[in-house]
Amino acid sequence: MIDWAGYLTLILGGAWVTVKLTVLGCALALCAAFIAGLGRLSRFAMIRSATVAYIEFFRGTSVLVQLFWAYFVLPLLGVPLSPMQAGILALGLNVGAYGAEVVRGAILAIPRAQLEACVAINLSRWQRMRHVILPQAIVLMLPTFGNNAIELLKGTAVVSLIAISDMTFEAQVVRTQTGNTAIPFLTILILYFALSGTITLGIRGLERRLSAGLDVTKG
């Protein structure tokens, strides 16, 4: 007799780790995306080329390669990371690089007249960004950010390969202990799908709230 209730608790424990990784990874990705996205639009060539290097590096290699590099190579260079830290770092910086392009694209998509209006009423560069450009640009970024968050959630499965006990890892444990593959893997597939559905719904709600009173959105 297989104790399925016990195994389900195991998988739900793993689901909690997956959620933590996703939330912390998204937080890091958001910071990285804004810093790099604004950096690409900087006045200074140095900052622009540094951010381009970051973006191209992380977009040019896959998250698994970055994760293994962070986990196996960084300690050798004197930066010891726990598996969890390596996971969050790799996932966050990877998705952040994709997000940076979204931030840049959204800012450039704001009509020029808005910028001219800011200059006309004598706003500083910072005020322009903070009060006029970003509130409109964020609404444009949201749908793609939602997709990026789902990509990050899907990416978290990869951390099971450096022995973090996330949902995928626990499903593997259940598989080796029970010899049954279909049940644990179908369970986690459904859980992943539910999580990505939650992200989609959350983003849609946020979009509705943030676009209230703006006319740049498609409605």
Partner 1 sequence: MEWNWAFVFEILPTLGDGVIITIEATLLGSLLAIVLGLILAIARRAHTRWVAWPASAFIHFVRGTPLLVQLYFLFYILPDVGILLSPLVAGVIGLGLHYSTYNAEVYRAGIDNIPKGQWEAAKAVNLTMPQTWLHVIIPQAVPPMNPALANYLVAMFKETPLLSAITVFELMNAARSVANYSYRYLEPMTLVGVFFLLISIPTVIVLRRLERRYTLRS
Q: Compute the least distance from the CB of residue 180 to partner 1, in Å.
A: 9
Q: Compute the least distance from the CB of residue 35 to partner 1, in Å.
A: 22
For 101, half-sphere exposure in the C-beta direction (CA atoms, 13 angstrom radius) is 14
Q: Compute the least distance from the CB of residue 90 to partner 1, in Å.
A: 12
* Residue appearing with tokens 């499965």: 157
End-to-end CA distance of the chain: 55
Nearer to partner 1, 133 or 157 (CB): 157
Closest CA to 17 of 113, 88, 105: 88
Q: Compute the least distance from the CB of residue 131 to partner 1, in Å.
A: 31
- Residue pair 110/136 in contact by the 8 Å Cβ criterion: yes
Per-residue DSSP letters for 133-202? IHHHHHHHHHHHHHHHHHHHHHHGGGGGGGT---HHHHHHHHHHHH---HHHHHHHHHHHHHHHHHHHHH
Nearer to partner 1, 9 or 198 (CB): 198
Q: Compute the least distance from the CB of residue 52 to partner 1, in Å.
A: 11
Nearer to partner 1, 130 or 205 (CB): 205
- Residue pair 9/17 in contact by the 8 Å Cβ criterion: no
Nearer to partner 1, 118 or 155 (CB): 155
Q: Compute the least distance from the CB of residue 19 to partner 1, in Å.
A: 14
Q: Which residues bind partner 1 (CB under 8 A)?
A: 56-57, 59-62, 64-66, 68-69, 72-73, 76-77, 150, 153-158, 160-161, 168, 171-172, 175, 181-182, 185-186, 188-189, 192-193, 196-197
Nearer to partner 1, 34 or 185 (CB): 185
Nearer to partner 1, 187 or 211 (CB): 187
Phi-psi map region of 62: left, alpha, beta (phi>0 left; psi -120 to 50 alpha): beta
